[in-house]
Chains A and B, each alone.
Chain A
Amino acid sequence: MFRTIPHHPTLLLAFGVALLAMAAGAAAAKDSREDFFEKHVRPVLLNHCIDCHGPDTQESDIRLDARKFLIQDSEAKSLVVPGKPEKSKLMDVVAHTGNITMPPEEKLGETEIAAISTWIKDGAVWPAREEVAGAKTMGERLGDARSDHWAFQPVVRPKLPKVSNPSWIKTPVDAFILSKLDEQKITPSAPADRRTLLRRVTLGLTGLPPTKEQSDAFVADASPDAYEKVIERLLASPHYGERWGRYWLDVARYADTMGYQAGGKNTTFPHAYTYRDYVIDSLNNDLPYDQFLIEQLAADMLPEREDKSHLAALGFLTVGNRFLNNQREIVNDQIDLVGRGMLGLTVACARCHDHKYDAIPTEDYYSLYGVFASVTEPKELPVIGQPKREEDYQEYLKERAKRQQVVTDYVDKNFAEIAEDLRNQVGDYLLIERTSRRNGPYAGKKLLLTLKKEQVRRTAERLWKSYLDRREVRDNSLFGIWRELSAVPPEEFEQKAQQIIQRRVKQKKPINPLLREWLVEAKPASIVDVARIYHNLFAMVRKEALSQSDANKPLANADAEEFRRVLYGAASLLTLSPEDRRNNLDRKHRTRLLQLEGKVKALDNESEGAPPRAMVVLEKTNPVNPYVFVRGNPGRRGPAVPRRFLQVLEPSERSFQNGSGRLELAEAIASSENPLTARVLVNRIWMQHFGKAIVRTPDDFGIRGDEPTHPELLDYLASSFMDQGWSLKNLHRTIVLSNAYRQSSDVRPDVAKRDPQNVYCWRMNPQRLDFEPLRDSMLAVSGGLEREVGGRSVGSVQSPQERRRTMYSFVDRLFYPTILRTFDVSAPDQSIVKRHQTTVPQQALFLMNSPFVIEQASRMTRHPRMRSAEGDQAKVQVLFGLAYARDASPEEIASALSYLKTVKHGDPWNQLAQALLISNEFSFVD
């Protein structure tokens, strides 16, 4: 059935993205029409027209890759008449209403045709900033991007602009903000009051609220550097590293588990926490950001140091999802991580084809692929520190040995059972060894002596195979003849077998006399007969060996001894390394085995005495030389590409020289020549402080990303950041000491009318606390917070007993807690730079009903100050002071007291305290 597509552009647009429906009022805007073109028209042109009517070929002199080719001054010559689809030739052609019909092979879909019509009707808007991406060669696109796109231009420190009111300038930030405001004839807002400012900056820098005492002290501090002192105190707090580390962990898609794995395998990363702690410590120590990046990509390739703790940085690469150990996905995740996370570029979009918009050829993707595919992980992770207490360590070693022994015993016991079977069924396995091969006269045949098909052990089959393939076995006195005989086709067997045996004797090739005798005597008519001979001989020898005190003792008869040695002793087919024994257990033993091994792993994970280890990567001996996978398909090899950096950022197209090139990649990213790295980072720090970024697509600085609202400010921050040794703490100082940051958040209606989105930063944006600072604040004000920094991950954020900061709770990637998603905490599926912000009733349910919140409320009422407060009024004051770090007003006291009287059941004070904890004042920062 034909469905009419409404021709009203705003309607169509609203269909495109449901959220856009909310923006219906603005849908007619040019940006939205460009968006419509990008989504619905450009792909049609690219997919159906450009091949014949593009830059390379212009059949019938028609070109459809730029607006100027479609629209001429005279309507008669134009293919498209903006606003008039009925007069546009292009419509006739695609809608098949005229003589010429296109595309030649198949008519476009109804929705595609309707989209073109809507686009024309709506003015045929074509984004001016670029032509059809696909219409240019990649070389041209690279050149254009390097010369034109703002984000690829070198970072140059801009001059401070002149402003109307120089006295307002506290840090250079203010000059850039004020100059834009001047242009708009908007004045900045008055400073926020001291209590508000202290709450803002304390939560901003540490993720914890100030206490009432701190707040009172700041209000009372008349010294000119009162605010500066506060900033220094906060930046020196270990909670600073926790607060800002959490956002970096979003970028690093940090989790304590590897995601789904088949068959009950323990999926925990017992040492992921060392990466988390590395991030916290690095921030607290103000490790230069360039160094921070380099260590996370290539700490293993840096000069050796006494202290190995920086190796934990490599967790950046390894704490991701393991995608059922699919290496292509793991590497793709790492490319995305480095692309969006560090460079603000959507490099992973170039996996299957050249990037649709940005100048990232698919070759670049595979250049990076080669770098990351060249890493390997060691079996045993390096120890990077000491357990806290020596006794714990000794205890751990003892317990670990004990648990390991249980595993070994289990393996040995069950392997013994398999060994028994192998020794008993020699004939069968000899046959299977032949029939299960791909070549040879018996390949694929069904030959067995005594076993039933379902009794055949895969393990035994494997072991026999690898035994018979040993060089010293292949042509020895026992199995050389077997190999020869089993190469004879069955129909020729009877005729040839004896000759072959005789020939072997004559040629003096080794043949065991016992075996020879039996073979000659029994006159086998088929390979099965031969197998039976072996079977019986082995059985006989075995019986004899077992009749000795120890089957491992040599037999007196040298001929029999040869047989015995196949089954017993150091060179037997059953002599395997402990690991091979483990890997060769029957499938049915796997579950239990994994359980037992899990207990060893659990100890590494949980024991206080287990030493911390770094989740490192190492270089492979031979780095991978990558090929393009055409359309992302590893089965379709395209051209070989060198391992090197992105061409758009490295015009020399120099290949990496040192191993995989991982360190060179890291250095290219962390270079002050790199136009993206510093800009991307300062933009994010600004975003967290102001609630809005300067570039509002913080993980996409490409062509489709937003342009900066304050380009000079962005460049100033980026250049001074690099000039000051990539110090994050200095960057924070520059921002939070500014007058722009200190503005009040009050809405000024007259200004709000002109700049409702506060693009020009004429006030501070109020912000809602993310889940971590919200929960941590509850713990802090109730007095319950355990302030220890770092260490193994702890229990659920919902547990009323769990009193560590939220970032320390165990992050299970597969069973990610619903409550975290409910509060917009990003799941660690991929690198996340900006969280959603939603308000939904399930959040309120948690606040109203969860045992965690109830416990914090109750703890507040048990606060020592509550006990010493006399009278209800004083108690109300205590609770307000704890929750809001301020005094309650007389009206608030009155209202609280009257509320307390309405409570019928339970402890009224708990319920009052809870209301304070879940209120907007607690959740929002002005």
Chain B
Amino acid sequence: MAHTTRRQMLAQSGMGLASLAFASMFSEDEARAAALSVTAPKEPQFPAKAKHVIHLFMNGGPSHLDTFDRKVALEKYAGKELPVHLRTERKTGGAFPSPFKFTRHGESGLEISELFPNVAKSADELCVIRSMRADVPNHEPSLMLMNCGDARLARPSVGSWINYGLGTENQNLPGFIVLCPNGYPIKGPSNWQSAFLPGTYQGTHIDCKHSKVDKLVENIRNPGLGLEDQRHQLDFLSNLNQRHREQRPGEEMLDARIQSFELAYRMQTEASDAFDVNLESDKVRAMYGDTLHGRQMLMARRLVERGVRYVQCWHGAGQPWDSHDEIEKNHRRLAGQCDQAIGALLTDLKQRGLLDETLVVWGGEFGRTPTVELPMPGANAGKINGRDHNHHGFTMWMAGGGVKGGHVHGATDEFGFQAVEKPVHIHDLHATILHLLGFDHEKLTYRFAGRDFRLTDVHGHVVHDVIA
């Protein structure tokens, strides 16, 4: 590659000392010469198990109290005012016990509700953090905080930082892929922005309700030209470019662009394969289920298998898990849509030996209140059977990628309103994810506008307790 050439040139010319004068310009210019290397795989700061991340984003905010954080005390207080009452987005009333049954699973005896029977089969892989905290009970800032580490300002998303730090193992696919069926979640592409990092680190959004690859990835197919004809065209292009290049000896920056067309050509077939779940055996497809989410999770596995660094799977457009009313019905439906697929993903990753190097992260932007949401005209149809947003305490779980399995970290109070034991803020989660990938979150920085920015800004502590 171009940058080797340049380095060799330096070595050959005995520039060791003479080049010192230019050292401050070196990285910029070298980066330009070897422009493609912005996505080349890089070593982390220290050895780490996790090499990929699959973030299962249950957007809207699933209730921890109905899934992974059982609170018996709510039954005692059913309908009555709780001794703790914290401010959330809307008014809530008395205690609302979970309508779902919890049972213990696996050797670890992890308590999981009936909503996730298939995920529960992998209970011994799950590292459940029951003491998550965010800052405010509103979707937009919480989405931004969860994805980009800042509730308001344009900052690079987690996936962008990780691609910036690690590059991607497969140059024929984007390093950060966002699978969201049926369109965009709230706040759209801001959720996977690269902000001041180069554009190549932004997430590539894919509407995975489609199955044809040209609908999945922008410009992935020429609408009129078959691969054979395109090959001829690129050969001719390469011919033009080589002639151009020969007239410009020493101009290595031209090589990167020449190379990019070959990569793009390969990306066309590679991407088609990566997203084509029909290439999987019937057995595997059946395991995931022939559903929207089954195909989504299967795609996610195929992508990490191919070296994609960060895959984010959103439950759907808008904010599906936002059950302000009819939580029993809605949560049952939503969990029903994804449980089999997530369960299959965990099992499948494990069977293929991929779980060790793939960190799976599950959760929403916050959880929900242990108290029932009070009716409000025009909001929740006057029904009194849902829960409001809750940023004071909620649950996320991780699996694989070097975390402890069958482990519970932290706790909310007796009623699940607030994280009280070993609270984990979103910044801490980010610090921990970076750590699992081999980065000190304080040292993965990027200088912009005079500051060395980082994902966790001035916050964040690695939660060492969850690391195996």
Q: Which residues of A contact B (CB under 8 A)?
A: 3, 15-23, 25-26, 29-32, 39-40, 111, 260, 262, 321, 323-324, 326, 329, 336, 340, 346, 348-349, 357-358, 453-455, 457-458, 586-590, 696, 699-700, 702, 704-706, 745-747, 749, 752-757, 759, 766, 768, 814-816, 818-825, 827, 829-831, 836-851, 854, 891-892, 895-896, 899, 902-906, 911-912, 914-916, 918-921, 923-924, 926
Tell me the complex Cα distance, A837–B38, Å: 10
Q: When the two chains form the complex, which single residue of A39, A260, A759, A850 contacts B22, counting CB atoms closer than 8 Å?
A: A759
Q: Are B263 and A895 in contact (CB under 8 A)?
A: no
On chain A, the residues within 8 Å of B199 by CB distance are: 820-825, 827, 836, 838
Tell me the complex Cα distance, A321–B153, Å: 9
The 5 A-B pairs at the shortest CB distance, nearest first, are namely: A346-B450, A588-B378, A747-B250, A821-B199, A829-B154
Tell me the complex Cα distance, A919–B28, Å: 25
- Nearest chain A CB to B276's CB is how many angstroms away? 18
On chain B, the residues within 8 Å of A918 by CB distance are: 237, 261
Q: Are B200 and A848 in contact (CB under 8 A)?
A: no
Which of A329, A819, A823, A836 has its CB near the most chain B CB atoms (within 10 A)? A836
Q: A827-B195, A903-B229, A921-B240 are in contact. Are A839 and B35 (CB under 8 A)?
A: yes
Q: Are B18 and A838 in contact (CB under 8 A)?
A: no
Q: When the two chains form the complex, which single residue of B32, B140, B234, B236 contacts A324, counting CB atoms closer than 8 Å?
A: B140
Q: Are A899 and B223 in contact (CB under 8 A)?
A: no
Tell me the complex Cα distance, A222–B257, Å: 37
On chain B, the residues within 8 Å of A457 by CB distance are: 377
Tell me the complex Cα distance, A61–B236, Å: 75
B281 contacts partner chain A, Cβ-Cβ < 8 Å: no
Q: Are A349 and B451 in contact (CB under 8 A)?
A: yes
Given A17-B447, A840-B39, 4 other A-B contacts at CB below 8 A? A29-B26, A756-B22, A827-B199, A899-B239
- Nearest chain B CB to A452's CB is how many angstroms away? 9
Q: Are A32 and B23 in contact (CB under 8 A)?
A: yes
Q: When the two chains form the complex, which single residue of B27, B378, B379 contacts A20, counting CB atoms closer than 8 Å?
A: B27
Q: When the two chains form the complex, which single residue of B225, B237, B257, B377 contacts A839, counting CB atoms closer than 8 Å?
A: B257
Tell me the complex Cα distance, A587–B28, Å: 53
> Across the two chains, which residue of chain B brings its CB closest to A759?
B22
Q: Are A754 and B250 in contact (CB under 8 A)?
A: no
Q: Are B449 and A348 in contact (CB under 8 A)?
A: yes
On chain B, the residues within 8 Å of A262 by CB distance are: 140
On chain A, the residues within 8 Å of B248 by CB distance are: 745-747, 766, 926
- Nearest chain A CB to B324's CB is how many angstroms away? 13
Tell me the complex Cα distance, A454–B375, Å: 6
A-B contact pairs, 27 of them (CB 8 A): A15-B440, A17-B27, A18-B444, A25-B11, A29-B23, A324-B152, A457-B377, A699-B450, A704-B450, A756-B22, A814-B188, A814-B190, A821-B202, A824-B198, A827-B193, A830-B196, A838-B199, A841-B260, A841-B261, A845-B220, A896-B236, A904-B228, A904-B229, A906-B224, A911-B233, A914-B233, A919-B244
Within B1-28, the residues touching A (CB, 8 Å) are: 3, 6-7, 9-11, 13, 15, 18-28
> Across the two chains, which residue of chain A brings its CB closest to B167?
A18
Q: Are B219 and A848 in contact (CB under 8 A)?
A: yes
On chain B, the residues within 8 Å of A22 by CB distance are: 3, 27, 30-31, 34, 37
On chain B, the residues within 8 Å of A706 by CB distance are: 24
Q: Are B232 and A899 in contact (CB under 8 A)?
A: yes
> Across the two chains, which residue of chain B brings its CB closest to A926?
B248
Q: Are B240 and A915 in contact (CB under 8 A)?
A: yes
- Nearest chain B CB to A711's CB is how many angstroms away? 15
B288 contacts partner chain A, Cβ-Cβ < 8 Å: no
- Nearest chain B CB to A610's CB is how many angstroms away? 28
Q: Which residues of B contact A (CB under 8 A)?
A: 3, 6-7, 9-11, 13, 15, 18-32, 34-39, 42-43, 45-46, 140, 152-154, 164-167, 171-172, 174, 184, 187-190, 193-196, 198-200, 202, 204-205, 218-226, 228-230, 232-237, 239-241, 243-245, 248-251, 253-254, 256-261, 263-265, 267-268, 374-379, 382, 440, 442-447, 449-452
Q: Are A19 and B451 in contact (CB under 8 A)?
A: no
- Nearest chain B CB to A109's CB is how many angstroms away? 9
Q: When the two chains form the complex, which single residue of B245, B264, B377, B382 contacts A587, counting CB atoms closer than 8 Å?
A: B377
> Across the two chains, which residue of chain A brings its CB closest to B447?
A17
Q: Are B236 and A899 in contact (CB under 8 A)?
A: yes
Q: A18-B164, A844-B260, A911-B233 are in contact. Are A920 and B241 (CB under 8 A)?
A: yes
Q: Are B190 and A260 in contact (CB under 8 A)?
A: yes
- Nearest chain A CB to B156's CB is how many angstroms away? 10
Q: Are A848 and B267 in contact (CB under 8 A)?
A: no
On chain A, the residues within 8 Å of B379 by CB distance are: 587
Tell me the complex Cα distance, A26–B20, Å: 7
Tell me the complex Cα distance, A321–B45, Å: 35
- Nearest chain A CB to B321's CB is how many angstroms away? 19
Q: Are A841 and B188 in contact (CB under 8 A)?
A: no
Q: A838-B199, A920-B257 are in contact. Are A849 and B221 (CB under 8 A)?
A: yes
Tell me the complex Cα distance, A25–B27, Å: 10
Q: Are B34 and A848 in contact (CB under 8 A)?
A: no
Q: When the two chains form the complex, which single residue of A29, A40, A854 contacts B224, counting CB atoms closer than 8 Å?
A: A854
Q: When the two chains form the complex, which single residue of B140, B221, B450 contacts A700, counting CB atoms closer than 8 Å?
A: B450
Q: When the two chains form the complex, which single residue of A15, A757, A820, A906 contacts B26, counting CB atoms closer than 8 Å?
A: A757
Tell me the complex Cα distance, A185–B254, Å: 28
Which of B256, B260, B382 has its CB near the most chain A CB atoms (within 10 A)? B260
Q: Are A349 and B445 in contact (CB under 8 A)?
A: no
On chain B, the residues within 8 Å of A699 by CB distance are: 449-450
Q: Are A329 and B153 in contact (CB under 8 A)?
A: yes
- Nearest chain B CB to A32's CB is how many angstroms away? 7
Tell me the complex Cα distance, A842–B174, Å: 8
Q: Are A31 and B190 in contact (CB under 8 A)?
A: no
Q: When the two chains form the complex, which single residue of B187, B244, B376 contacts A260, counting CB atoms closer than 8 Å?
A: B187
On chain B, the residues within 8 Å of A329 by CB distance are: 152-153
Tell me the complex Cα distance, A912–B229, Å: 11
On chain B, the residues within 8 Å of A831 by CB distance are: 449
On chain A, the residues within 8 Å of B445 by CB distance are: 16-17, 39
On chain A, the residues within 8 Å of B6 by CB distance are: 756
Q: A349-B450, A905-B225, A916-B240 are in contact. Are A829 and B195 (CB under 8 A)?
A: yes
On chain A, the residues within 8 Å of B36 by CB distance are: 839-840
Q: Are B264 and A842 in contact (CB under 8 A)?
A: yes
Q: A260-B140, A830-B154 are in contact. Are A821 and B449 (CB under 8 A)?
A: no
Q: Are B42 and A18 in contact (CB under 8 A)?
A: yes
Q: A326-B152, A454-B382 are in contact. Are A757 and B450 (CB under 8 A)?
A: no
Q: When the two chains form the complex, which single residue of B189, B222, B253 contacts A848, counting CB atoms closer than 8 Å?
A: B222
Q: Are A818 and B218 in contact (CB under 8 A)?
A: yes
Q: Are A23 and B26 in contact (CB under 8 A)?
A: yes
Q: Are A840 and B38 in contact (CB under 8 A)?
A: yes
Q: A21-B42, A850-B219, A906-B225 are in contact. Are A838 and B200 (CB under 8 A)?
A: yes
Q: Are A39 and B23 in contact (CB under 8 A)?
A: no
On chain B, the residues within 8 Å of A15 by CB distance are: 45-46, 440, 443
Tell me the complex Cα distance, A156–B174, Å: 51
Tell me the complex Cα distance, A914–B236, Å: 11
Tell me the complex Cα distance, A814–B191, Å: 10
Q: Are A757 and B29 in contact (CB under 8 A)?
A: yes
Q: Are A702 and B450 in contact (CB under 8 A)?
A: yes
- Nearest chain A CB to B214's CB is how many angstroms away? 9
> Across the two chains, which residue of chain A brings its CB closest to B37?
A22
Tell me the complex Cα distance, A358–B450, Å: 10
On chain B, the residues within 8 Å of A346 by CB distance are: 449-451
Tell me the complex Cα distance, A340–B46, Å: 35
Q: Are A756 and B9 in contact (CB under 8 A)?
A: yes
Tell me the complex Cα distance, A559–B445, Å: 77
> Across the two chains, which residue of chain B brings its CB closest to A590?
B378
- Nearest chain A CB to B158's CB is how many angstroms away? 15
> Across the two chains, which residue of chain A brings its CB closest to B249?
A747
On chain A, the residues within 8 Å of B140 by CB distance are: 260, 262, 324
Tell me the complex Cα distance, A656–B213, Å: 61
Tell me the complex Cα distance, A589–B377, Å: 11
Q: A756-B9, A844-B263 are in contact. Are A818 and B204 (CB under 8 A)?
A: yes
Q: When the two chains form the complex, which single residue of B28, B225, B241, B449 contacts A340, counting CB atoms closer than 8 Å?
A: B449
